[in-house]
Amino acid sequence: MIRQLVFATNNLNKTKEVRSLLAGQYEVLNLQDIGCTTDIPETADSFAGNAGLKSRFVVDNYQLDCFADDSGLEVEALNNEPGIYSARYAGERGDAANLDLVLQKMEGQQNRAARFRTVVSLIQNGEEFLFEGLIQGTLRESRTGENGFGYDPIFQPDGYEVTFAEMDMEQKNKISHRAIAMHKLIAFLKEQAV
């Protein structure tokens, strides 16, 4: 029997990625699917804190087991910015403006090291469990590729010659920060099932 789990996200790209990762094992419902239209405040000062705010909101208001992730890009030369502000680095103007601001701040910068980080918060029977995924890479000086979302067109993972946006979802899902954290979540859920 395929079990249901709520993924507390409004981001359809994240929903797609995670549905594909958990296919055959869990039916993943996002906030839209459970009729939650609240803009859940992400006011914590860490990825773990924000992920916990999102999962806790669903558990408290819908009494369903739930997980949430908070993810972002950390750029070494920018003191790990945009970090927890990745979704709103350039205000509320969206992904393209956020990416442009990173490119602008990185103009002329030699150190182009960056990483994506995801922290997943799962709340099961009232108890919270955290899982983390990291992928190291470098930032390109301009966009390449049409796939993915967010900062994908400028992020080239170490060991690859292409950006995340040049990979298809299947390739990105083999190596991404979110995939690493989700695989830890899946391993944990499987342990629970035995």
Binding site for ligand ITT (CB under 6 A): 9-11, 14, 42, 69-73, 86-87, 95, 98, 116, 148-152, 164, 176, 178
172 labelled ligand-binding: yes
19 is in an annotated binding site: no
Residue nearest to ligand ITT (CB): 150
CA angle, 68 then 50 then 92, to 5°: 100
DSSP 1-66: -PEEEEE----HHHHHHHHHHHTTTEEEE-TTTTT---------SSHHHHHHHHHHHHHHHH---E
In one letter, which amino acid is 99? L
**Judged by CB, which is closer to ligand ITT: 158, or 192?**
158
Residue 165 CA to residue 146 CA, distance in Å, equals 5
Nearer to ligand ITT, 56 or 178 (CB): 178
User: Residue 70 CB, nearest distance to ligand ITT (Å)?
Assistant: 5
What's 77-112 look like in SS3? HHCCEEHHHHHHCCCCCCHHHHHHHHHHHCCCCCCC
Measured between alpha carbons, how far is 123 from 78 in angstroms, rounded to an integer?
33
Cβ proximity to ligand ITT: between 115 and 191 the closer is 115
On whether 14 is known to bind a ligand per the annotation, the reply is yes
In the complex, the smallest distance separating the C-beta of residue 110 from ligand ITT, rounded to whole angstroms, is 23
Residue 100 appears among annotated catalytic residues: no
Catalytic residue among 70, 95, 100, 158: 70
Is 184 marked within a binding site?
no
CB of 2 to ligand ITT, least distance (A): 23
User: Which CB sits closer to ligand ITT, 163 or 189?
Assistant: 163
Handedness of CA 25, 9, 169, 45 (dihedral sign): negative
Catalytic machinery residues? 70
Binding residue positions for substrate: 9-14, 71, 149-152, 172, 177-178
